Structure 1
Amino acid sequence: MADGALIQSRYQLLELIGRGGMGEVWRARDESLGRPVAVKCLNPLGSRQEEPFLRALRERFRREARVAAGLQHRGVTVVHDFGESEGVLFLVMELLDGHNLSQLLTARGSEPLPAAEVVDIAEQVAAALAYTHRQGIIHRDLKPANVMRLADGTVKICDFGIARLAEDIGLSAKLTGAGMAMGTPHYMSPEQIAGTPLDHRSDLYSFGCVLYEIATGAPPFDLGDPWAILIGHRDTPPEPPRAHRPDLPPELEEFILALLAKHPDDRPEDAVGHARRLAALTAAPPAPLAPAGPYPAPGPHGTDGSGLPGGPRPPRRGTAAGLPRVPVPRPPERLPDWTRGMRAGSRASGSWPLRPPPPDRSAGLTGQWTGLPGRPDPAAQGHTALAQLPAEGAGPAPEFLAVLASRHRAGESLGRLGRWAEAHEVHAALASTRARALGEEHPDTLLSRHETAYALGRLGRWEEALDLFGRVAAARERVLGPAHPDTLGTRYQTGIALGRLGLREEALDLYGTLVVAWTRAEGPAHPETLRARHARGITLGRLGRWEEALSEAREVYALRARVLSPGHPDTLVSRREIAVALGWLERWEEALAEYREVRTARERVLGPGHPDALASRNDEAHCLEQLGRAGEAVELYRQVAELRDGTAPEG
């Protein structure tokens, strides 16, 4: 979607206000009712799946959206409308004036929120969850980014139903393939990690994780790597919040620890009642030491009612100034050796820009992964440590697949940061590990080899990249078929490598084959068809065939403007290629007009100081030089320099 787009002749998109893994959120105007709204546009479905799957997904979306629209509570974001526009599913919601809890923590430099504010948030979120749970609705992905604090102090939960849709769309495919449900690792319940059926008590555990973070500044298991975090949720009692922040009311600590019980049966039955009593109790100054809280008595599941398995709760530290600090016994180290020394990553987003060391395959994890924690499986009594690589004839263990998935995400994060040497090292090691565990031609192994080749290209090692892309493409064709999107994607990257090595005729032939394949599979206006045509046009230009390059650029631009919108970045790239071709054909006046249109659109959408907008000013200046208008060109170059230095107003 683009700025100014009109959805279903009713919702005018005005400003992009958020972007995430599921899609974009826009500030918009409901033209029919004349009111501001927020429009969440989910990422395009494309056609990577069979049409019956997409039909089922659209029906799931409609069902989940109707459920969300039926929720009427001051603590839940109101959904006004939903639908599909040009292949994009969208939700229309109330426009909220405020910030989510993740933003509030970031604004405070990760310092925790005031205790009174934490208690107020706890009471409001508990009431909203109690309402939705009475409707039989589970959120499944409660985290700070999904809880909004409005300007008037109201707290609202967002994105009910989105987590279930994310599972279906495939954003969590790597986790669900390992038997785990959708969720962000810092806030996932033990049963969610185990892949067992969920009920409302899973949301209560995530709620406890959220409260722990806003009360202390860090999630309960801030261990630096997704794998270590998951094991922390499963095996390790959380350190009492007052060990990090002694001024917290003891009743708040009791409430958080009760929510973080490892087994669902040990979490509060009436969270909203406890939250209200907490608000009443903390209206007075907190006592220096924690009394017994109003939480479950010793239960039948080997706990003392706190939800901490294995006996009495560790003694709490003193809270008032001058009181002795009673040491809290730490649980035994039960994480694999390779997790030690890893750096912390992003908490709320679930991404980890880190460089994990290679696995120590002699390290294991004691205990069963699947099933509920604290409930011994008689069949598993006396089992030995679980090796990271599967035994002969056995399938990979779910936790091992989770390790591999987390390392893949780490490699991707390193690439996004431009740290390509490290990204190459991570992907190459992961490809080797996946080959041993899953097979040389398993789709995940081939994915890692593709990412390794891509990193080689970004490092300028194009001959190695070309060789590896060729081998991956051949393997994907054997395993997935010649028309599979992954096969075609690798062949596209092969064309890039050929072009970089100056093998332009071969690249041109390859792009032409891809255009035919994508057109046959998806149609002439599909984004991948147009991407292949765009690359073919650039290659025609590099071969000096500028009339053909100009014709191709114009056709691709027209199709992208219709399919993606005139202001879409890909559309503007195609329009720039028109100007480039016109310049090489010495049609500089026409080229100048095209360059100016691109510059104007980029400045409107991205801002005058954005690198792409600055590049467009340079393009325009170069064109003016070719026309002999040196004075105007110098002025544009001066504007670019000032904007890059931050000395010019962006207007």
Structure 2
Amino acid sequence: MADTRLIQGRYQLLDLIGRGGMGEVWRARDESLGRHVAVKCLKPMGRQHEQSYLRVLRERFRREARVAASLQHRGITVVHDFGESEGVLYLVMELLEGRNLSQLLEDNRQHPLPVAEVIEIAEQVAAALAYTHRQGIVHRDLKPANIVRVADGTVKICDFGIARLAHDIGFSARLTGTGIAMGTPHYMSPEQIGAQNVDHRSDLYSLGCVLYEIATGAPPFDMDDAWAVLVGHRDTPPRPLRPVRPELPEPFERVVLDLLAKDPEDRPEDAAELVRRIAALPPLRADEPPRRTPPEGRLPPMGASARLSGPPRLPGWARDMTTGSKAAGTGPLQPPPDPAAALTGSWTEPWAVGPGGAGPRRTVPRTAGAERPPPPELVAELAGRHSEGLRLARLDRWAEAGEVQRAVVAERERILGPDHPDTLASRYEVAFALARLGRPGDALREFARTAAGRERVMGPEHPDTLAARQETAYVLGRLGRHFEAHQVYTAVLAVRERVMGPDHPETLRCRHNLAFNLGRLGRPEESYDMARDVAAARTRLLGPEHPDTLVTRYEVGYALGQLGRWTEALRTYQAVAAARARVLGPDEPDTFAARYEAGICLGRLGRSAEALELYRELVGDRTRVQGAAHPDTLRARHGLGVNLGRLGRWEEALAEARDVCAIRARVLGADHPDTLVSRREVAVGLGWLGRWTDALAVYRDVAQARQRVLGADHPDALASRHDEAHCLEQLGRSAEAVELYRQVAAVRRTRGTRGHRIPPN
């Protein structure tokens, strides 16, 4: 390794990631594009080598690096650059945030991985091999350490071309006294051991060894002596897998044993055939044992993205667009109790009940515009109009409710003053209606004014003041300002626990919302712990099937999903859906919501056929109850389309995405976030069908819309620009892609210097 930590004046080496037989791997920063990358530095040649040999070596390195850089597949690590610096040959690759399969087994204490994960890994690696083998490229050193599961669930193969380079230039280790060039003994094919010609079927054998190990916990020939391992590969039939792991599907065991055939002619013909065989596997049994929770700080299990059938699933860069909406927090799910009775007394009466029906209010000083008490009949009329606004809200007629309350606010402000509790009660309802109408920015302004007025008049610890502050936190979360929301929720909760006690319904509601917000801050363990405790308290106080208890159990399911514990999440959502059907009725929106989330879990567990059936039924039920154009009906149709894609039915998936997109554009507007999600799903489908030129046009359309609506530096707008660059890469327009990546990186750097506060871990 050269002494300098700056390669070619561009790549700043930061941390040593690993060291191996061929050199070192560093985490580095690309100073030109402002992104983090991995830099593999191959060992510099000693002086004992002749210059002619070194010239040949460098040329072979360049040739193999070009081959590696030419590979463009979601399942293969991207090579960005290569060259030589001060005698060090280097490769610049994408930095993978994840764990390789060896590390995953270590995390699991060498226990086998869950069946759904094993099959998902098999499918993704087979798809990547099918691509590379079509290019005439053989890996030669496929092993668990060279297969990485990225944080979003994508599985990537590393070191394509480098293994062949190692073989060509003599870097590979050799067995003492044998003269046999080695890969890694536990994953070598018999033809490698016998120094025979190696083709793509050697990679299939190595993949069989990898799958055998992650499915059973040990490689097929697990001996300490390297020679014994090689003899096992060459002469000994592997033991069947199912005596060790009976829950493995028998057809999958047959796939692995066929991959481990001694004669290459007896293995699957190619990786494409392997993909087809995996796609034809039957659905996994629903009673598969729950997966083991990894040690703290480890990556969550891969079950969040595993599936069992169909061709390769959605790429990681598109996956965030396939999960639909999540739990929305409770907030006040219903308008507050009708306060009409509280609005008919004298406004200066010191012990009148507050608008929320909770506790005394303070005497309100007379203000300008209210020198004399207002006429009682006018006060009564405004109270009646306020009640009418609440009635409209209970009917979900939020636009009308908001208009009624806005008019009442203006009148009450004129005759009572802006800080009168009755004025503030109507302003609170205006804010609530704005939030329900999808205008969180306007709602935030009105809730903040209400909270400030109530604090001045009623005091900071009055229940109505706390209610307004809590709703302020809720809309901050809706605006993505989760750290600010966290601060408000925490402050409100401290007061509620001290004043009302830990088991008061409003205290529990605040804790529920805080748990929800913790999940959005990327703190799923804390979110899960708090939601579980709130669910237990509500079960004890209200009963296991009270609607509030079920709301929190629903949130527990969401936190489990964030932790990758999809089997437990599925059970939770199914239980909530069944209880809501009994308590609320099978056609209630909350019942539908729990069924929808169960469908997401099925997809994440690789049970896409079951998810597809669930969404078909849900679409029918929501269409019957809510209408074909209702946003929730369209969300269920979106989930249906996603699972069609996961099953490889991309023509149908594309047609579904286009239809949903057209309806959303008509009902919600062309630039509504849900419409843009569907338009992006159209682009994903076009890409999977190889229609990259058409996909590029759609990705650009989505990027421009998000820039226009959200601003050029919004994370969603930047993600769309990244999608556009990826599409350009697929079309071979690398220079344009690099320029676009550079622009995105520059904007992200600018956003990072604006002093945004980072929430604590």
Q: TM tier, shorter chain?
A: 0.3 to 0.5
Larger proportion of helix: 2
Higher relative contact order (CA 8 A, sep 6+): 2
- The structure number with the bigger radius of gyration is 2
- TM-score of the superposed pair, with normalisation by structure 2: 0.37
